[in-house]
Structures are given as C-alpha cells and as structure tokens.
C-alpha cells in the first residue's frame, strides 16, 4: 500500500507503442503530473495505477493525507481497481511531465486476463487513469533496490520485472560508482527482447521462455552465475513473497541482517512461486547471506492482485 501525502494524479495517455507481442509502452502526461517528483534515480520505484470503474469513470478522490482510506471507503462500483507497476521513465521537458509504463499484455490460453492488462490493451491516446507516484517534497518510499556497497549486482526477473530491471540498469549508467551488473530477464518470446541503454559494465541476457516451464531459464542462469562466482559466505507462506534486507512479508525480523554490504547483491522479482524457488536455492543451498538479497513476488499465478 502506498500513502501519498495528497493522493493520485490524473494521467492522460499521450502515446501507445507496441514494443512486442508482450509489451505495450504507454506514456502519460497531463497537467496534474507536474506534482510528481521527476528527479531520479528511480530504480525499481513502484507506483500504483487506479483503473476506471465498471461504468468507465475514474473515482473521485479528495486531495488529503487520508486519501487512501477515503478511496477504500468508496462503494465497490465507484472505486475502480488498483494495481502496482514500475516507472519505466519519468521526465520533465519544456514544462511537460511524462511518465512511461511498460505493460505486460498477459492473456491466458482461454483469453482471460486482468483489469490492468485489459485496460492497457484497450488504451488509446486520451484514455485516463489515476497514478500514485512520489510527489515533490514527499519522503522517498517504494524503492527496494538497495545494493549498498556491493561490488557486483545480479538482477533476475520475468517480463513483469523487465521494466524495473531496465530502469535500474539505465539509472546505474548515470551513477559514478556503479557496480558490475549482470541482468537476466525471462520473456515469453525471442521478439520480446527490449532495448536497454546499458552501461559498459552491465551485461543484459534475455532468456526467451519458449515451451519451457516459467522460471526454468532463470533458475539455470542463477545456477551458472553462482557456479562461476561462488559466494563467500521456515517454509514458504501462501502470501506474495516480499523479502528484502529490511522487510519480510512473513513478519520475520530482518533488522539483524540489514548489514552494510559488499560482494554480490541479488535483486530477484517475478511470479511468486518462481521467486520462492530461486530464493530457496540461493539462501538455503548456496548459503548467500540474507543481507545480500531482495526477493519480490510481482504477481502470482492464478491470483488477482489487489493494490
């Protein structure tokens, strides 16, 4: 849940671009986006989208510190639907603020999808939704990427994490003390390999899934990686996995493991079941220190994400 001091802003679709069969890039602008903080780096900054309700209207949410409670209290048919996405880009140029989101157009074999993917598939110039993203003057929150003083960073994710990985890699390009980066991104098809403006010390490997099981190529990539670069160094809940050096969704106290880092920092995001498998391998089998890893379930097979 994200609590902005003053709530969502109205995003108006300025452009829609199909990058591949899987990814649709949508850029939002509109006067209300001026309130957003456009100074990066954004890394994996999460944002919330509030989609129109069944009548096609956006909910009316007052500008107030408790906007989230007020939004929750709206009748079901007015409230609309909230989902979490990443900032692919956020710029201000010639007094116009633009926020770009890369949507995965996920459709199951029976044609079913979710409200956010359906909205993106039908979006056109002028379509509107509400965006909850950091505003000017607000304390920073919603970035999990935290490599500390790591010498090397390993990013692993599926297509839902591709926008966040791309942003992290591009933001590191601008950083003076950038660590060495290896990114592995599993995508449905060969043609889903997107352009990332990576720095010279970053290696981005796209892993088309094809007919393989989801996560199989990520597990292989992690295995090779760990094998080539050995590290020094309770059973899974049903909830979405979210475990970073400073926060555990299972309520575990991780204060003790949030130590300053060196060595390799792992950032892993995607389908929750796949991520659990990768975490098991890395933490239990390889014995990588928990302070060196962030595991995040970005979606869960067969489950609609609320907020």
Residue closer to ligand FAD (CB basis): 47 or 226: 47
114 contributes a contact to ligand FAD by CB under 6 A = yes
> How many chain residues are in contact with ligand FAD, going by CB under 6 A?
26
Residue 305 found at the interface with ligand FAD (CB under 6 A)? yes
- Shortest distance in whole angstroms from residue 245 CB to ligand FAD: 16
Exactly one of 25, 48, 83, 290 binds ligand FAD (CB under 6 A); that residue is 83
Mask for 141-180, x = binds ligand FAD (CB under 6 A): -------------------x--xx----------------
Per CB under 6 A, contacts with ligand FAD among 283-302 are 298-302
DSSP secondary structure, the chain, as one string: ----SS--EEEEEEEEEE-SSSEEEEEEE-GGGGGB---S--TT-EEEEEE--TTS------SSTTHHHHHHTS-HHHH-EEEEEE-SEEEEETTEEEEEEEEE----TTS---HHHHHHHH--TT-EEEEE-PBTTPPP-S-----TT-SEEEEEE-GGGHHHHHHHHHHHHT-TTPPEEEEEEEESSGGG-------TTEEEEEEE-TTSPTTHHHHHHHHHHHHHS--------SSPPEEETTEETT----GGG-----SEEEEEEEEHHHHHHHHIIIIIII---GGGEEEEEEEBTTB----
Give the residue, chosen from 104, 154, 182, 187, that forms a contact with ligand FAD under the rule CB under 6 A: 104
- Shortest Å, Cβ 232 to ligand FAD: 30
Task: Tell me which stretch binds ligand FAD (CB under 6 A): 91-99, 102-110, 177-185, 276-284.
Answer: 102-110
| Residue closer to ligand FAD (CB basis): 83 or 98 | 83
Q: Is 272 in the site for ligand FAD (CB under 6 A)?
A: no
Residue 103 engages ligand FAD in binding (rule: CB under 6 A): yes
Q: Which of residues 19-78 bind ligand FAD (CB under 6 A)?
A: 46
- Residue from 115, 208, 277, 307 in contact with ligand FAD (CB under 6 A): 115
């Amino acid at each position: 849940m994200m609590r902005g001091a003053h709530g969502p802003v109205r995003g108006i679709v300025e452009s829609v671009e199909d990058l591949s069969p899987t990814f649709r890039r949508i850029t939002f602008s509109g006067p209300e986006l001026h309130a957003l903080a456009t100074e990066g780096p954004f890394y994996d900054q999460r944002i919330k989208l509030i989609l129109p309700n069944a009548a096609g209207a956006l909910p009316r949410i007052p500008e107030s510190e408790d906007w989230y409670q007020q939004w929750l209290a709206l009748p079901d048919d007015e409230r609309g639907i909230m989902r979490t996405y990443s900032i692919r880009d956020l710029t201000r140029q010639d007094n116009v603020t633009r926020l770009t989101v890369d949507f995965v157009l996920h459709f199951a074999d029976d044609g079913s999808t979710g409200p956010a993917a359906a909205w993106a598939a039908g979006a056109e110039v002028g379509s509107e939704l509400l965006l909850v993203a950091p505003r000017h003057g607000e304390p920073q929150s919603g970035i999990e990427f935290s490599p500390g003083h790591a010498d090397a960073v390993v990013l692993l994710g599926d297509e839902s994490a591709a926008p966040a990985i791309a942003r992290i890699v591009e933001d590191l390009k601008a950083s003076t003390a950038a660590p060495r980066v290896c990114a592995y991104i599993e995508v449905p098809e060969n043609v889903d390999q997107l352009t990332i403006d990576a720095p010279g010390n970053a290696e981005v490997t796209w892993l088309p899934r094809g007919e393989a099981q989801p996560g199989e190529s990520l597990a292989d990539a992690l295995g090779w990686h760990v094998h080539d670069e050995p590290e020094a160094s309770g059973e899974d809940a049903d909830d979405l996995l979210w475990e970073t050096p400073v926060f555990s969704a299972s309520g575990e106290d991780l204060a003790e493991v949030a130590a300053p880092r060196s060595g390799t920092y792992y950032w892993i995001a995607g389908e929750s079941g796949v991520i659990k498998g990768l975490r098991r391998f890395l933490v239990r089998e390889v014995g990588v220190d928990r302070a060196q890893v962030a595991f995040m379930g970005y979606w869960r097979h067969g489950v609609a994400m609320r907020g």
